[in-house]
Structure 1
Amino acid sequence: MEGGMSPVVTVERSKLEERRRELLAALGLSLDEFRALAETRTLTGHEFDVKEELDEIAFLLGE
């Protein structure tokens, strides 16, 4: 790629919020419930992956 620039990916806010809902629905938890769970015990591998993605979504949403 010329100039060493990386491509910019644009994601709509609604798509990020929808993805967050999907992740939490798959776990059967609300965001607050998931956060409480993460604070009280060690997360499983899948739960940790979900936490990482939720953190990324929150960052992109400016939360």
Structure 2
Amino acid sequence: PEELKTADEIFLTGTAAEVTPVGQIDDMKFKVGPITKMLAEDFAKEVRKKPRASAA
């Protein structure tokens, strides 16, 4: 899509991919930017937290 040409950074998300930066699509190259870095770090912190006991 045309939007890719103006993107500063691009990433994929998913259960296995978590937050994965995209470096290149066809001839368009992208750098890992501050938003992708922040999201990846925050996501990693959340999924590695120990679950709290529920009051059931």
TM-score category by the smaller chain? 0.3 to 0.5
Whose Rg is larger?
2
**More relative contact order, 1 or 2 (CA 8 Å, 6+ apart):** 1
More strand by proportion, 1 or 2?
A: 2
More helix by proportion, 1 or 2?
A: 1
Q: Normalising by structure 2, what TM-score?
A: 0.38
